[in-house]
A and B are shown apart, each in its own frame.
Chain A
Amino acid sequence: MKQKIIELGKKAKIDIEIFEKTQEKVDINTMNGKEKLFQITNVTSYRIKAIKNEISIEYMTDNLKNPNLIIDNIQNIFKLQENKNKNFLCQGNLKHKLEQKETLDYNKIKQDFLNLIDLKKEYPLILNIETTYSHYINRYGINNKECSLTDETYYHEYGVAITIEKMDKKKVSFINFYSENYDFKSFYHYVREKLEYLIIKLNGDNCTTKKYNIILKNNAVALILNTFANSFQSKEMEQNVSILSGKRTQKIFGDKITIVEDPKNGIEKRYFDTEGTITYEKELVKNGIFQLEINNLEYATKQNVKATGNAYGVNNLYIKSGDNSEQELIQKLNNGIIIDEIYGLHSGIDKKNGTISLHAEGLVVENGKITNGLEMIILSTNFFELFSNVMEIGKEYSHNLLCVSAPSLLLKNITIVGKK
C-alpha cells in the first residue's frame, strides 16, 4: 500500500514520504498485591509527508487502505495551506536493529510487582501500593522514492503510588522510572529511597515565605527542563513563542550549566527523527551560553543550517552532571531545603515568561543533616533564575522521564512560599 501511495503521488506530481510507527505494548497494573489490569496494545500509525513544488504538508492516518482518498485529502490540504517554507524528503538509507533483544517472562514481571506488597512487612505505615508497568517495542520506518530507513527500539516504564498513613495522616509518593532493559532491582532500590523520604515527610511541617538555599532533586530538575525542551526549537523561537526568542548566542544560565542532547544513547535509542534526519550528539547550552537551536528540515532549510534531527522533539536531553554525591550536596547545603517533589507543571509554569510557581514537598536540612519534612509549600522562581543560581551539581542522573534527565542542583536564593 505504501508503494501504491508513493506512485499515485508521483502521478499527481507530489513527492510522498511515509513515516511508519508500529508500537507493541504490554501493561500490567496491580493494587495491594492483586492484579488489576493486564493490557496488550498493537498499533501502527503513519505520518505522510507530501511535497509539491518544494512546499510540504503533513497527513496522519493509521490506515492506508484507501490510497486515492489519501491523495485527495492531501491535494485539498495543498489548496488551503499557505506555508511557503521549502521542505525536502529525507535522503540516505539506514537500518538499525536491536543488538540484543531480551527475553521477557511477563508472568515473572507481574510477580515482581505483586511482591512489592511485601514492603508492607518492613514498613508497616504503608497503606496502599498501586503499581503500573509497561513494556514498549517500537518499530520505525521511512520510505520515499529514493530511500528507506528502519529502526527498532524498546524500553520499560515502571510506576508506583505508595500511600503511607499514621494516625489519620496520609502521604503519597508517585514514583516513575524508565530503563532500556528490564531492571526491577534498580527500580526497587529507587522506590526504597523515595519511601525513606516519604516517611520523614509524614510528620511534615511548613515554612516561612522567604529565599532559601535549596537542593532541587534530579527528578524535579528533569521535569522542569522537560517542560521547556521545545523552547530550543527554531520554529518556536522564530515564531516568537519561545522564552528563548531573541536569545541566540547569549548567556542564559550560570557557568556550570551545560545541556546536551544525544538521541542515539538514551533509554530509547533513536537513530533518526520522523523526517529521517540522522540524529547526533550536540550541545545546546555550554557553560551557560545558548549555543545551538534544534530544528526540523523546514527550519534548517529556512535558516540555511544543518538539520539537527529534532522533528519529533528531543530524546536524551540532559544537563551535564557534576562531581557531588547526594550526601555531599546536603553537606554543602548545610542549612536549607531539599525540594524532592513538584506538581502541577502544566499549569504552574508559564513557558513564555518563564515564571515557575509549583506545588512542592521537601525536607529541611540543618547543619548538614535532614531534620524534618516539608509539605504544602510552593517553589516560586523563574526559568533563568533557576538555572543561573547554581552553586553545585550532583552526579546522579534522574530516571523519572524517558527523554530528559538531570542531576540534582544546589541553588542559592530561591523563594519557597509557606504558611508560617
Chain B
Amino acid sequence: MKRQQIKEILEQLLSTGGDFAEVFLEEKQVKSFNFIDQMLEKVSMFHVNGYGLRLAKKENTYYASSNDFRKKKIEQIISELRKNVNDKSIYKNISLKRRKDYKKEQISSFTDEEIKTKLKQLDEKIRKKEDRISQVNLIVENTIQNVTIANHTGLYVKEYRVLSRFSIILYLKDQEKSSRISFSKGASSNLDFLNTIDFDKEIDCLIKQGLDKLYAKPCIGKEMPVIIAPGFGAVIFHEACGHAMEASSVAENSSVLAQELNHKIATDKVTIIDDGSLKDEWGSSFIDDEGKPTQKNILIENGVLKRFLIDELNNRKMKQTTTGSGRRESYLYAPTSRMNNTYLKAGNNTFEQMIQDIKLGLYAVKMGGGSVATETGEFNFGVDLGYMIRDGKIAECVTSASLIGNTKEILQEVEMVGNDFSLGTGYCGSISGSVPVTVGQPTIKIGKILVGGEK
C-alpha cells in the first residue's frame, strides 16, 4: 500500500465520527529447518502479507484484518467498520508525516547449505556423546517481518524486523524409561546469532540434564521452599505479576494489581523491569505494534509497584503514559499491552546462603511455561527438572512438577536474590496472539510455594 492509499483509508475510516484510526501492514517470511532422524527432514517456508484496520470511538474498538488487497475488498471492510460509529466526523484531512524507517540487518552470512551442514555436524556430535540418546531433533527458524504502521495523528513508521531461534530436543531411553529435554535460544537478529552460542557447553549440559531426568524420581508434593535457577526461571514473575501489570486487565479493573499502584506489593529485593529496547534480545523491537518506540519500563522497584504496561487504547481508561508495549502476533490481531523482555534485577545473595537453611525443599533447574488468572492472581508454572534439597544439600533428581501460587503471596515470599543473572526465551500467548518474549532473573529463593508431586 502506498502512502496516498493509507491516508485515504484513514480518512474514510474516520468519516463517520471515529476518534482513532490505524493501518497496520505486515509482510512476513518464515523459514524453518527441521533436522530429525539424522537428516534434514523438512524445510518449511511460510509467506504472509496482510493488513489490519483499527477504528475506535471512545472506549470501543472495531478491527478488521484481511490479506485481500483488492480495492473493492478494502472498501467493503472500511464500510463494515464504519457502520459501528455514527457521529460527526472529527478528522477530515489526515497529514501523514515523513515515514520513519527502523532497520535491522535481516540477511545472515549463513547460506541454507551451511545451516544444513551445521545441523548435521551437531547431530553427529550429540549422538556420539551418549548411547542412550534415542532421538535428536534440531530446529532452526528465521523470521523476516516488515511492518508499516500509520494512524490518524500522522504517525507513519516502518520497521524491518528479524527473529531467529535455535532449539535442541533430546529424547533418551533406557529400557522402559524415557525422557525428553530441550534447549532453545533466540534473538532479534539474523541467523548470525548462531555464532554466539557455545554449542559444546549447551550440549553437554543438556545431555546431563536429560540423563538425570531419565532416572528422576517423582517430586514430593507439598508446600516447601524453592530455589529457582537463573534465566527461564523468571517465568514465575512473568506469570505471577507480569500479566497482572498489563493494561489489558488493569484498564478494566479486573487485574489483582489494578488498585495497587505505588503500593508495596513485594519484598525489598524485588525490582522488575520490562524493556523492549534491549539490543538484539528475542522480545525486542525498535517500535511496538502501534508504532511507538519501545523503552525500559521499571514496573516494580524495591517492592513498590511503579507502573503498568500500557497501550494506546487501554490508556483511554487509565489516563497515564503509554509505554511502547502494544504488541500483536500478526495483522490478524488488534494490539494490546504485552510484555517484551521482563526481568528481575540481580541482587547479591549467594547460592550457599539460599540453600544452607533448607531442611526439605526443591531446586528448580529447568522450567516449562505457565499461566495465570489475572483476576485472582492464581498462577502456575511447570518444573521440567529439579533436585530435592535435603538438610541444606542438593539431593535426588525429580521431574515434572507444577508449582502454584498467588500473585500477592508469592511476591512477599521472595527471600533472596542472587547475582548470576541470565535471560531465557519463549513465547507468550494472550488475546493479541502469541508473541516472542524473554524472561530473566538470577537464582532466587522463594520462602514457600505449593509443589505438585506424588506423596
Contact = CB atoms under 8 A, between A and B. Distances in A.
A355 B47 contact: no
Contacts of B67: 43-45, 62-63
Interface string A331-356: 00000000000011011101111010
Contact of B402 (A34, A77, A358): A358
How many of chain B's residues touch chain A, expressed as a range? 35 or more
B391 interface: no
Contact of B179 (A77, A239, A352, A357): A352
Nearest to A66: B47
Interface in A141-181: 161, 163, 170-172, 174
B334 A39 contact: yes
A128 B254 contact: yes
28 contacts: A31-B252, A37-B61, A37-B334, A38-B62, A39-B65, A44-B68, A57-B43, A60-B44, A60-B47, A80-B116, A81-B41, A128-B375, A130-B254, A209-B221, A241-B137, A241-B171, A343-B371, A344-B369, A344-B370, A347-B382, A350-B400, A352-B180, A357-B453, A358-B402, A359-B402, A376-B450, A415-B221, A415-B453
B375 A209 contact: no
A100 interface: no
Contacts of A343: 371, 373, 380
B112 interface: yes
A26 to B, nearest CB: 10
B399 A239 contact: no
Given A41-B64, A174-B373, A62 B381 contact: no
Interface stretch (B32-40, B141-149, B318-326, B416-424): B32-40
Contacts of B66: 41-43
Given A80-B112, A240-B134, A359-B404, A40 B375 contact: no
A76 interface: yes
A38 B56 CA distance: 10
A97 B341 CA distance: 47
Contacts of B64: 39-42
Dominant secondary structure of chain B at its interface with chain A = strand
Contacts of B61: 36-38
Given A58-B42, A80-B116, A417-B221, 4 more contacts: A76-B112, A128-B252, A241-B137, A376-B450
A101 interface: no
Contact of B222 (A40, A59, A81, A417): A417
A76 B31 CA distance: 12
A61 interface: yes
A105 interface: no
A41 B62 CA distance: 11
Contact of B376 (A172, A209, A351, A415): A172
A290 B269 CA distance: 53
B223 A61 contact: no
Contacts of A347: 367-371, 380-382, 402
A43 B68 CA distance: 7
A62 B47 contact: yes
Interface in A19-56: 31-32, 34-45
Contacts of A61: 45-48
B453 A380 contact: yes
A319 interface: no
A378 interface: yes
Given A346-B368, A355-B400, A417-B450, A240 B380 contact: no
A353 B373 contact: no
B267 interface: no
A43 B50 contact: yes
A82 B38 CA distance: 10
B84 interface: yes
B41 A357 contact: no
B349 interface: no
B173 interface: yes
A352 B399 CA distance: 12
Interface in B393-431: 399-402, 404-406
Contacts of A240: 134-135, 171, 173
Nearest to A40: B64
Nearest to A84: B39
B77 interface: yes
Contacts of B40: 80-83
Interface string B324-339: 0000000010100000
A419 interface: yes
A40 B79 CA distance: 12
A209 B222 contact: yes
A57 B34 CA distance: 12
B167 interface: no
A303 interface: no
A57 B45 CA distance: 10
Interface string A119-132: 00000000010100
Contact of B180 (A174, A350, A358, A376): A350
Contacts of A367: none
Nearest to B53: A40
Contacts of A111: none
Contacts of A38: 60-63, 84
Contacts of B381: 344, 347
